[in-house]
Structures are given as structure tokens and as C-alpha cells.
A and B are shown apart, each in its own frame.
Chain A
Amino acid sequence: MDFNLSEEQEMLKTTARDFLEKECPKSLVRQMVGDERGYPPELWRKMADLGWLGLIFPEKYGGLGGSFLDLAVLQEEMGRACLPGPFFSAVILGGLFVLNAGSEEQKTSLLTKVANGELILTLALTEPSAGYDAASVEVEAISDNGDYVISGTKLFVPDAHIANYIICIARTKKGTAPEEGITAFLVDGKSPGISCTVLKTIAGDKLCEVVFDKVRVPKKNIVCKLDQAWSAVEKTLQQATVAKCAEMVGGAQQTVQMSADYLKERIVFGLPLGSFQVMHYYIGNMVVDVDSSRFLTYEAAWRLSEGLPCAINIAMAKAWTSNAYRRVTALGEQIFGGVGFIEDHDMPLYFRRAKAAEVTLGDASFQRELVARQLGL
């Protein structure tokens, strides 16, 4: 047993923290909410130079061959910094799906470019029914003269407005079990018939409505086998869920730190605010929430890295961390009071992100139902 990070992971953590403090100040984070693209390309290039965009891809695809624990470490720092941009969609959702399901040729051509920072991918899974399960996939792709023609609406697609390729998860066969008949298509983001609308979201994430109006996709752009993409989608969602939890842990940890720093300085009734017992109680609750989230998340990441069964661990981590991060930021807002209500302050950044992360990839009740099934209930 070992609750420490490895030396290399400590180094990655320190490098990431220093880099993001310098290159991703909160002023930039706020600015990017109103930015059309949502991220500065210079920052993306620098992240590619650091190897982050290929951290978890094998070396033969231009990556560093890192583990999920390494990814969790990096995601934690990104969550701490509120890093805007398409890391989650390009590297985690898109990149890992290709890694899990793509042909050798697709992996070589796509992942190398993702790692270089030349290519942005995203995954179009959810629809207006807003579910992460197979039954919610209703957008259809119909075989036509050696091509497939996709029609329907995908919703909450991250960064589709800047994606070179959208991996569209569509239904190619009906009338069987929901998991059967699902196919993944690599769709050029500029294909005729695609229209993309960026939605206005609580945390400024660039989530899109993507309408496919008879979008023609060549058969060779199928990723994974025809009708059989669901298990790769599921695996990718699990990996992404652990990564999302790590991001939340980073944000929650930073919220506690900011709150404690403030409590040491703020004077009320002639005394430091941090000398009032109720504030000790709040901070105690916040630390319990952060520690518990951290270990559930890291155990899931460790099991994923080791190739051990981990479906229940991932569901437990997301169910718990979703609500814990929200509780921590709510207490942070209470501690900061009025200043935390002002948009210029850092507190609202975390408060907003906690809610967005909570509902992304399944909220607590969704995940608890997964846990219940694993328990044989």
C-alpha cells in the first residue's frame, strides 16, 4: 500500500501547477468564457510541447505512454486552475475513444495529430433526451450506396464548434437490445449538412447543439465495428468519468485552500473570522469532502491503471465527488460572503464549475443506480 504519488507524478504535478499558474491566470479563464473559440491557441501549443496532449497515448502514436494515475494527477491540476479549452473533449473523450476502438491506421493518423496539438476531436453522444445510456442513442445513420447518411440532433457536445472531427455515436440497427446496433462515425466537422450552435452554459464550457441534416460519411470512417461500438463508448465514458472526478478534486482542494487563506486574514468584530467555531466546522466539513473524494477517485484511477475491475469504483467516485464538490463550493461561497458573489472573484469560477461537473457524465443519482446494480440490487 502506498498513498504517495510516485516521484515522476510529483514532478508532473509541480510542473503542471507552475505552468498553469503562469500561463493560465484567472483573468484568462474569465476572458475565455466570452471568447468565441474558448481557448488561446498559444496555450494549446505549449501544452502540446509539454507532452500533455499525448500523455496517455502509447509512444507509437506520438504519446508519452502515461497511466491513468498520471492523467488523474494532471487533471487535478487542470481542475485547480479552471483550465478552459478542449483538453477533455480532444484528448479524453475523442482521443481515448479512438485509442479504445480505432483501427491501427486511425490510431496512427489521428492520435499523433492530437498529441501534436494539430487536431481537435470530440465525441457526440448525448441527445435532447440527455442520457448517457445506450437507449438514449436515437440519431440514425442509414446505409446508402457505400456511405452512411446521418440525421438527427446531438446535444451537449463539447467543443464541436472547433473540432476537426466529431465522433458521432449513431444507431445503425433497431429492434434489438439498446446496446446492439450502435456505430461510431468519424465525421469531418465541416461536412455539408452539419450545423453547430454553441450553448450558453453555467461554467462557460463550450457545449454545442450539433444538427446532422443528411450528413454523408464514407464507410471507411467507421471507428470500431459496425453496430458494435457501445462497449468502446462505455469504456471511454468510464475513463472520462475518472478524469472528471480528478478535475473536481483539484477544484475542491483549491476552494478549501482559498477559503482557509481568507479566514486567516478577514477581521470581524475585531477578531479573525477564522477564530469563530462555525468557520472551523465549515472547513472541517470541506476537508472531509475533499479527502473522501480524492481517495475514491485515486483508487478508481489506480484500478483502471492496473487493469482491475473498476466499474463500481468509478460510479462510487463520481456519485460522491459530484455532490462533495458542490457542497465544498457552496460553503466557500458562504465563507467569502459578498465578495464571492462578485463575478471578478475566483469563487464563482469554482461554484459554476462544480455544478457543471456534477451533471456531466451522470450525476449522483445516476451513478448511485449504477452502484446499486453492481451490488445486485
Chain B
Amino acid sequence: MDFAFGEKEEEFRQEVRDFLSEVVTPEMVEERAGGKYYERGPHSKELMRKVGEKGWLALTWPKEYGGQGRPLGDRFIFAAEMLNYGVAAGGSGIAIVAPILMRHGTEEQKKEWLPKIARGEIEFSLGYTEPDAGTDLASLQTRAVRDGDDYIINGQKVYSTMAHQVGYHWLAARTNVDEPKKHKGISLFMVDLKSPGITIRPLKTIADELTTEVFYDNVRVPAKNRVGEENQGWYYIAEALDFERSLVVNIVNSERIVEGLIEYTKETKHKGRPLAEDPFVRQGLAQLWIEVNIKRLLGWRTAWLESQGIVPNVEAAVLKIFGHELDQRVAKTGMEILGLYAQLEPGSKWAPLKGIIEHLYRFAIHLSYGGGSHELMRTIIASRGMGLPRLH
């Protein structure tokens, strides 16, 4: 066993730090620190373009598709360093659309779409979830019916994050209604969100961000925008989930937030004594620090498995459960430490730590179902990892 990064990895990490020190501006950090984890303001968009120019959005893609051809483990280093700088870049186009295009797209599609995705010029919103199909995605009902060189699409998607801010929808729609096995009748499309017949309605979340509902009313999509074979989409979706396993918990930088809490309790006095002297505070923060380190180790494990050419599956489920439930615990303990101040939102006078704990408390609640419910993650561990029978 060896828990240190190798020489090449350290070299790359330094390269990333040098780059980020140069391009990250206070405005980019501020934009994200204001509680925008998903929505992308102008400064974050600028960073995305710069990372794209550097070629690092497509860090580990093969060179033939405009990537850097770097080892898979480098993505992990890159994402971790971005998080340390308080910024993020990437998105569904990089993480989900491109890998499926590389494996199942036509040569023409690859040539047309991959370079633009790699440069950060076009971005995608995910069009998977529907009002009656979430974790049980195979139940989706949006219809795509072939009509000449087009498909005509009708239906409704929900929680399509950033659909109001990006150009394209990565749409899963039903192309075969006769097939009794529901997961065998789904196809994938790249849809221009400006197509006639599309209505995007923003939904405001409890965490002050916008997500959207996307309505399809007889929307024509060219058949050349279907990716892969007709009715095989569900398999591509499942396969794509395996691409980004090690990055799954890199949304909230819980380590940095706990460090912030530690500093806060050292500096803040209650009845004349630093909060940090209170045994409850000491125990709570020590516990969070331990768990932050567990998240780090579980992340390293999945990244290491990927670098060995192994697809982490059970291990990624363990990471997602631990990492995201930790984010929730950070918020819970943090709020308990802040007491009456806990209720102050970002932007409020007197808000401790700029309100990030209060915001995290609202934001983190979706992490234990978003991207696959944690009930399902536990079933993956139990069935694939420990060989338990399928759920009845």
C-alpha cells in the first residue's frame, strides 16, 4: 500500500496549481461562493473557456478527439485542485455526452461535436428525469416518433439543470412503446434548445438556484442528432455513469468548509471564551475532520481503481453515500455550532462565514438522491458488492 501521490502526479498537480493561480480571479470564486453550485454566471463561463483553451476540459480523452490523452487519474487531481481554488468547470457535455459520442457516435457526429465540447463552446443540460421517472429512469414517457429525416418529440422533462443557460439538451426519449421491457425502447438525442416547440420553465430550488422544466410540443429533431442505435439509449446511459465515478462527490468542498468552521470557532467568543473551548464544538469538529479524511481516502480509492483500468462501481456507490451524506452532516453540525446565527442567509448583515453553512444546509439535502438515490446506491453495494438477491 502507498498513500502518497507519485512523482508524475505531483508534477501534474503543480502544473494545475500554476495554471489556476494564473487564471482564477476573485470574481470567479465569489460567484461560486455566493451559493451557486450549478448555475453558471459570466465569470464561471469565462473560466470554462480558459480551461477549454488549455485543453483540460478534455484532459483524459484520446488525442484523436481533441483530448490530451492523459492518464485517467489526472482528472481526479484536476477536479480536486479546482475545488481547492473554490471553482469548477466541466458539466454534462464533458462528463456524459462526450464519452457516449466517442463510443457510439458516427464519425460525422464525433467530428462535428467533440471539438466544440472539448473547447467549452457548447454545453448540455441533462434531459433524463421526468415527473414520473427519476431513479427508475426506464419508466420515462417522453415520445420520439420517426418522421422522414426527423423525429417528432412530445413530452416533459424536469430538473434539467442549466437548460435555461446552455444551448443543448441531452435527451432520453421513448422510441418503442411496444417493447414490454421498458429499458429496451429508449433512444438518445442532442436537441438544440432553441428548436420551435420547446418551452423552458425555470423552477427555483430551496437553495436559491434555478433548475428547469422542459416541455416538448411536436419538436422536430433531425435524425442525424440521434446518438447510437435506436432503442439502445438506456444501455448507453448506464455505461456513461461509469465514466465519472471518482468525480461524483466533487460538488461541495467539505474540507474547506470545515476548515472555515474551525477558524470561526477559534475566533468567535461566547460568554467571553472562544467557542473552540466548548467540548461539544471540539467533538463535533473533530468528527467532521475525521469524516472529511474518509471522503478523501474513498475518493483516492476510486481514482486509483480507474487508473488501474478498473471501473469502480460498488466503490463509487460507497464514495457517493459517504461523501454526500458527509456534506449534509457538515451543514448539520455547522448549524448547531452557529446557534441563533445559523439562520442568517448569505448577504445578510451579521451572517457568519458569509452564510455558506446556512446555504449548504439547504443545498445538501438533494445530494442523497440527486445523481442516483442513496437507497439505490446501498442496493448496488448489497447486490453487486455482497451478492445479495435482487430486490423483490
Q: Which residue numbers of A lie inside 8 Å of B, CB to CB?
A: 1-6, 69, 256-257, 260, 263-264, 271-272, 274-277, 279-281, 283-285, 287-288, 291-292, 295-296, 298-299, 302-303, 316, 319-320, 365, 368-369, 371-372, 375-377
- Give Cα A375 to B379, complex, Å: 36
* B304 in contact with A1 (CB, 8 Å): yes
Q: Does B133 contact A (CB under 8 A)?
A: no
- Collect the chain A residues with CB atoms within 8 Å of residue B282's CB: 368-369, 372, 377
Contact A279 B388 (CB under 8 A): yes
A287 & B385 in contact (Cβ 8 Å cutoff): yes
| B378 close to A320 (CB less than 8 A) | no
> A284 and B381: CB pair below 8 A?
yes
Contacts of B293 in A (CB 8 A): 296, 316
Report yes or no: B387 in contact with A260, Cβ–Cβ below 8 A.
yes
Residues in A with CB closer than 8 Å to B73 are: 1
Q: Which of B3-11, B24-32, B115-123, B216-224 contacts A (4 or more CB under 8 A)?
A: B3-11
B294 within 8 A of A: yes
Decide if B179 is an interface residue (CB 8 Å cutoff): no
Determine the distance from Cα of A256 to Cα of B385 in the docked complex, in whole angstroms: 11
Q: Provided the pairs A5-B1, A375-B285, A377-B286 are in contact, do residues A284 and B298 lie with their beta carbons within 8 angstroms? A: no
**Pairs of residues from A and B, 10 with the lowest C-beta to C-beta distance, nearest first:** A284-B378, A280-B382, A368-B286, A371-B286, A372-B282, A295-B297, A260-B386, A283-B382, A274-B388, A2-B2
Q: Which residues of B contact A (CB under 8 A)?
A: 1-6, 9, 73, 262, 265-266, 276, 279, 281-283, 285-287, 289-291, 293-294, 297-298, 300-301, 304-305, 307, 314-315, 317-318, 321-322, 375, 377-379, 381-383, 385-392
Cα–Cα, bound, A284→B307 (Å): 25
Contact A299-B286, Cβ < 8 Å, known A284-B377, A291-B318? no
| Bound-complex Cα distance A264 to B282 (A) | 43
Chain A, residue nearest B283 (CB):
A368
Residues of A within 8 A of B392 (CB): 271-272, 275-276
Given A2-B1, A316-B289, A377-B265, is A277 in contact with B298 using a C-beta cutoff of 8 Å?
A: no
Q: Do A319 and B2 contact each other (CB < 8 Å), given the known contacts A256-B386, A295-B294, A295-B298?
A: no
Q: Is the interface of B mostly helix, strand, loop or mixed?
A: helix
Bound together, the chains give a CA A283 to CA B300 distance in angstroms of 23
A298 neighbours in B (Cβ, 8 Å): 1, 3
Known contacts A260-B388, A275-B388; A375 and B289 CB within 8 A of each other: yes
- Complex Cα distance, B1 from A6, in Å, reads 7
Q: How far is the CA of A333 from the CA of B332 in the complex (A)?
A: 29
Contacts of B322 in A (CB 8 A): 288, 292
Residues of chain A lying within 8 A (CB to CB) of residue B6: 1
| Alpha-carbon separation in the docked complex, A377 to B337 (Å) | 14
When the two chains form their complex, are residues B321 and A284 in contact, meaning their CB atoms are under 8 A apart? yes
**Cross-chain contact A377 with B285 (CB below 8 angstroms):** yes
Q: What residues of chain B lie closer than 8 Å to A276, measured between beta carbons? A: 391-392
- Cα(A352)–Cα(B382), bound, Å: 25
